[in-house]
Structure 1
Amino acid sequence: MPPRCQARTDAVAEGTPIRILEGIRADALPLEMLLAEGEPVVLKGIAREAGLVQAGAHSVHDAMTYLRRFDAGMPVQYSFGGPGIGSRPFYNEDFTRLNFEVRRAPLAEVLDGIADHLDDPQPPTYYVASLLVERALPGFAQDNGLPLAAYGINAPASIWIGNGVVASCHFDAPQNLACCLVGSRRFTLFPPEQIDNLYPGPFDPTPGGQVVSTVDFDAPDFDRHPRFRDALATARTALLEPGDAIFIPSMWWHHVRSLAPFNVLLNYWWRSSPAFLSSPLPALHHAMWTLRDLPAREKQAWAKLFEYYVFGDAGQAGAHLPEQARDLLAPIDETQARRIRAMLLNRLNR
Structure 2
Amino acid sequence: MDGTAIRTLRGIAADALPLDALVADGQPVVLEGIARDWPLVQAGLRSTQGAMACLRDLDAGLPIQYSRGGPEIGGRPFYSDDFTRLNFEVKRGRLGDVLDAIQDHLGDPRPPTYYVASLLVDWALPGFSRANGLGLEAHGIHAPASIWIGNRVVASCHFDAPENLACCAVGRRRFTLFSPDQVGNLYPGPLEPTPGGQVVSVVDFDAPDFERHPRFREALAHAQSATLAPGDAIFIPSMWWHHVRSLEPFNVLVNYWWRRSPEHLSSPLPALHHALWTIRDLPEREKQAWAHVFEYYVFGPAGRAGAHLPEEARDMLGPMDDTRARRMRAMLLNRLNR
TM category (shorter chain) comes to: over 0.9
* TM-score of the two chains, using structure 1 as the length reference: 0.95
Q: Residue 70 of structure 1 corresponds to which residue in structure 2?
A: 58
Q: Residue 153 of structure 1 corresponds to which residue in structure 2?
A: 141
1:307 lines up with 2:284 in the alignment: no
Partner-residue secondary structure (3-state), 1:239: strand
Note the residue ranges of structure 2 that are not aligned, 5 or more in a row. none
Alignment deviations for residues 241-294 of structure 1 (CA, whole Å, 9 cap, x no partner): 000000000100000000000000000111110011101011111111111111
Alignment deviations for residues 107-143 of structure 1 (CA, whole Å, 9 cap, x no partner): 0000000000111111110000000011110111111
Q: Once the 2 structures are TM-superposed, how far is the Cα of residue 347 of structure 1 from its aligned partner? A: 1.2
State the one-letter code of the partner of 1:206.
T
Say how many residue pairs are matched. Answer: 338
Note the residue ranges of structure 1 that are not aligned, 5 or more in a row. 1-11
Match among 172, 177, 187 for residue 199 of structure 1: 187
Partner-residue secondary structure (3-state), 2:142: coil
1:82 lines up with 2:70 in the alignment: yes
Q: Residue 269 of structure 1 corresponds to which residue in structure 2?
A: 257
1:213 lines up with 2:212 in the alignment: no
Q: Once the 2 structures are TM-superposed, how far is the Cα of residue 318 of structure 1 from its aligned partner? A: 1.5
* TM-score of the two chains, using structure 2 as the length reference: 0.99
Q: Residue 8 of structure 1 corresponds to which residue in structure 2?
A: none
Q: Residue 247 of structure 1 corresponds to which residue in structure 2?
A: 235
Give 1:312-331 correspondences, 5 Å limit.
312-331=300-319
1:61 lines up with 2:49 in the alignment: yes
Q: Residue 7 of structure 1 corresponds to which residue in structure 2?
A: none
C-alpha RMSD over aligned residues: 0.7
1:225 lines up with 2:223 in the alignment: no
Q: Once the 2 structures are TM-superposed, how far is the Cα of residue 325 of structure 1 from its aligned partner? A: 2.0
1:141 lines up with 2:164 in the alignment: no
1:339 lines up with 2:327 in the alignment: yes
State the one-letter code of the partner of 2:171.
G
State the one-letter code of the partner of 1:134.
D
CA distance in 1, matches of 2:268, 2:134: 27
Which of 75-84 and 320-329 deviates more?
320-329
Q: Once the 2 structures are TM-superposed, how far is the Cα of residue 58 of structure 1 from its aligned partner? A: 0.6
1:21 lines up with 2:31 in the alignment: no
State the one-letter code of the partner of 1:282.
P
Identity of aligned residues (%): 75
Q: Once the 2 structures are TM-superposed, how far is the Cα of residue 95 of structure 1 from its aligned partner? A: 0.4
Which of 338-347 and 301-310 deviates more?
338-347
CA distance in 2, matches of 1:145, 1:343: 42
Aligned structure 1 segments of 4 or more residues deviating by more than 3 angstroms:
none
Alignment deviations for residues 204-244 of structure 1 (CA, whole Å, 9 cap, x no partner): 11110110000000000000000000000000001100000
1:349 lines up with 2:337 in the alignment: yes
CA distance in 1, matches of 2:17, 2:267: 26
